[in-house]
Amino acid sequence: MNKKRISWLMTIAAAGMIVFGLWFSGTQAATFAKGYFLYKADSVSAEDFAPKLQTTNAEVSLPDAAPNESPQAPIEETKETKETEEAAQLPKDIQYPTDPQIGDLMGELIIPKLEASLPIIHGTDEDELEKGVGHYADSVLPGQSDNSVLSGHRDTVFRELGKVGKGDEFIVNTADGTFTYRVRQVRIVDEDDRTVIVPKPRATLTVSTCYPFDFVGYAPERYILVADLISSS
């Protein structure tokens, strides 16, 4: 009797584990599949964009940045006076012929460090973030003066973003131009920190995702990369 009862309990437990495993793998598989199609790892390399990044009359080169620094030791902001002087040397503000609408494909974000190409969608609601990297609608467009803000999920498009740090580059490719930014600051901030979207005195790209990357559940912080425009073509 005891053996039959134990066997019955083991059968119930095994069936429960199988059901849970199917449910868990199904949800994880959906997330992985979404990330796989959005995050085209190894599909793009820096060399693919070399012709677009050659020096032009509009290009401004800044000094080489220092090697990557740990996000646990944020780098101090460049002084506003210095930023203002450098901003005066940048190309004239680009004018887009039309403003994008929420849900529009704006272009692509190239991350040479990760050899990745990601679609940029105008808007940062869940519908947009499911399709790629979201562009915060209240921020300026890439290439324009001030702060252009991009966000993405840490378990899909930005699951490798932690490998990107100070001195690395972002390339934003749109129908109206190619804009290269160099990361000068890495920040870890609280999820409610609004300094991420504040105006900047020069053309800036702010890239944000949830942090820690391996946190189970809703992550309480944000991994922020602040990059300056160094070339425009």
For the question of residue 112 being annotated catalytic, the response is no
What is the per-residue DSSP string for 28-95? HHHHHHHHHHHS-TTS--GGGGGGGGS--TT--PPPPPPPP--TTSPPPPPPHHHHHHHHTTSPPPP-
As a whole number of angstroms, the distance between CA 109 and CA 143 comes to: 13
For the question of residue 50 being annotated catalytic, the response is no
- Which of 157, 164, 210, 226 is labelled catalytic? 210
CA distances from 232 to 56, 79, 84, 107 (A): 8, 23, 18, 15
Listed in sequence order, the residues at least 6 apart from 88 whose beta carbon sits closer than 8 Å to its beta carbon are: none
Q: Is 147 helix (H, G, I), strand (E, B) or coil?
A: strand
Q: Tokens 């002087």 label which residue?
A: 85
- Which of 122, 135, 153, 166 is labelled catalytic? 153
Q: Which residues are catalytic?
A: 153, 210
